[in-house]
Each structure stands twice: as structure tokens, then as C-alpha cells.
Amino acid sequence: MPLLHMGNAGNKRKYRVLTIIFIAAVIIALVGITVYSGVFPPASVVESYSMEHSAQWQYGIIDEGTVVLVKKVNNINDIVTYVQGRSSNISTYGEYGNVILYHNSALNVVTIHRAIFYLEWNGTSPEIAGYHNQSYIHFYKDNIVLDGIGYAHRNLIVNVSGYAGDSGFITVGDHNLACLSYNSGYYNRTYNAYYASDQNIWGIKPVSLNQIVGKAYGYVPWFGLVKLNILRLEGEWPRQYYTHVPEYSYAGLFLSIAAILTIILFPYGKVYNKVKRKTRNS
């Protein structure tokens, strides 16, 4: 009996050591992510469906409830726009270019949308950083049209008449461009294109560097739904958002939580001892 007691005590010590190591590893990982990100908090929960690509959850896409990791932006060259990404084949979250988080003055929230191009000015003439006569980009006085943009391959039109001299990023939600109605006021029949940019929808200026919180560089699916449903209970997550959560998202969340709990609570020591006894007796 004393030997058995010592064995149990030894197992308990091993479990305590493993628990301490696990907690330390988690803390080190969180500190490392924060230092690398350069912002705090180093992650953000996506609350709306403006970046979704489907009514069903898709791997690698920013859906409602996605937790995106955020990295600080020190200058505009840290951001690859859609135009630049299309030329260099750089994509994130299912489309060319980077996704940025910025302070939206019209809504007084942080918006997470794709940087389509960086608008510059040569006197009164608009220019696009990274433009080198790409066939899908067209300049029509105050309108810039980009053909075949996004997962729906729609034409995007950006009216820049009110932004003379204001340089910054033109931003668009992936879902917004794909799903604007043909019969809406956002459709331009002349150019068969949609005014889907944040600048034309909300009347905000191109996004400047000092408005940018950071750029998204990674993600964890589903787990942000925990926070969002708490906000829902408090009446702070509108119905228009929570009814658009992609199919299978909650299934992914619950299965992930179950898997984590199984890993944590699994009786490794008992299973190990049982296997060891069987090996000795065989």
C-alpha cells in the first residue's frame, strides 16, 4: 500500500508540473503574439458579415465570429492592396491584397475591410499606387472602375470627386461588393459597376495611416461567437448580424470546445498505468 501511495503522489506531481508547463507555454505564446503584433489587444472579433463569401462556413474566410490577429502598420508600404496583390499574386482570406482594421468615422466603430487600392493625386488627377496600365483598371474623369473584382467578379466603381488631394486607402467589404442589388442606388448602369467602397457608401475619406489599427494576418474560426452571443444577451449584437452567421459555424465551435476539453481532461495517467499493467501481465 505505501508503494501504491507513492506512485499516486508521483503521478500528481507529474500532473502539476505538466499543468505549470502548459500554463507557462500559453502565457509565453500570448506575450509573443502581443509583441509581434505591436498592438493591444493583438486580436479582434468580427461582428458583421461584410467579409463573408458564402452562407456556409468556408476555410480561410473572415466570417462572423472569426477572431483575427492584428499586426501594427508602421507605413503604407506595410499594406499590400488588391491592385498590388493581383499583380504579385499575394492574397489573404480568399482574395488579393491585405485586409485592414481602421477607425470608421461614419459609424464610430473599427471596420475590417479589404484595401483595394491606395489613392494618390497628381494635381487634380487621381492616381493608383501600383498602377501600370493594367487592363482591368479604367479612369473616367472622377470615376475609377476596376473590372472583375472579388469572388463574384463584379465591377467596382469609385467616385473620387469629393476627395481631391486626400490620399489614402479605398476599402471594400468582400460581401458588400458581391451582394449589392442591381436595382439599388449603388449600381451604375453606364459602367455596369457598383459603388461598393466604404468611401462611397458612407461618404468617408480614403483611409489614412493614422486611422489604421492594423492589418489582419491570421485567424481563429468560430471562437468569437462566444463573445458575440454574450453581446447578444446584452442587446449589443443586432439581429441583422446574428442571423447571418454562416451555416456550420456553431457546429465547428462546439466540436472544437469538446476536443479541447477532451485533451485537457483525458485521464492520461490512468490509461498509461492500465496499458503498463497489461503489458507486464502479458
Q: How far apart are CA 85 and CA 80, in angstroms?
A: 6
Residue 278 has pLDDT above 90, yes or no: no
pLDDT at 3: 45
The pLDDT confidence band at residue 14, using thresholds 50, 70 and 90, is low
- Residue 268 domain-assigned? no
Q: For the segment 75-120, what is each residue's pLDDT rounded down to a tens digit?
A: 999 999 999 999 999 999 999 999 999 999 999 999 999 999 999 9
Q: What percent of the chain has pLDDT over 90?
A: 72
Residues 120 and 169 in one domain: yes
Residues 85 and 167 in one domain: yes
Q: For the segment 186-242, what is each residue's pLDDT rounded down to a tens digit?
A: 999 999 999 999 999 999 999 999 999 999 999 999 999 999 999 999 999 999 899
Helices and strands counted in the chain (H then E): 8, 14
Q: For the segment 28-46, what is each residue's pLDDT rounded down to a tens digit?
A: 888 888 887 888 889 999 9
Which is nearest to 223 in space by CA: 44, 98, 61?
Answer: 44
Q: How far apart are CA 174 and CA 51, in angstroms?
A: 5
Q: How far apart are CA 222 and CA 225, in angstroms?
A: 6
Q: SS3 of 106, please?
A: coil
- Residue 265 domain-assigned? no
Give the CA distances from residue 190 to residues 145, 149, 155, 187, 226, in Å, rounded to whole numbers and listed in that order.
11, 17, 12, 9, 45
DSSP for 144-204? Answer: EEEEEETTTTEEEEEE-GGGTT--EEEEE-HHHHHH--TTSTTEETTTTEE--BHHHHH-P
Residues 69 and 32 in one domain: no
pLDDT at 2: 47
- Residue 144 domain-assigned? yes
The three grid cell numbers given for residue 114, joined into one nine-digit string? 479589404
Residues 201 and 81 in one domain: yes
Residues 83 and 146 in one domain: yes
Count: domains in the chain: 2
Pairing mode, if any, of strands 109-122 and 91-92?
unpaired
Residues 83 and 160 in one domain: yes
- Residue 193 domain-assigned? yes
Residues 174 and 51 in one domain: yes
- Identify the residue whose cell numbers are 493594367: 134
Exposed e or buried b per residue across 41-76, where buried means at least 16 C-beta atoms within 10 angstroms of its C-beta: ebbbbbbbbbbbbeeebbeebbbbbbbbbbbebeeb
The pLDDT confidence band at residue 274, using thresholds 50, 70 and 90, is confident
- Sort 239 into a burial class: Cβ within 10 Å, 0-12 / 13-18 / 19+: exposed
**Structural domain of 52:** 38-241
pLDDT at 129: 96
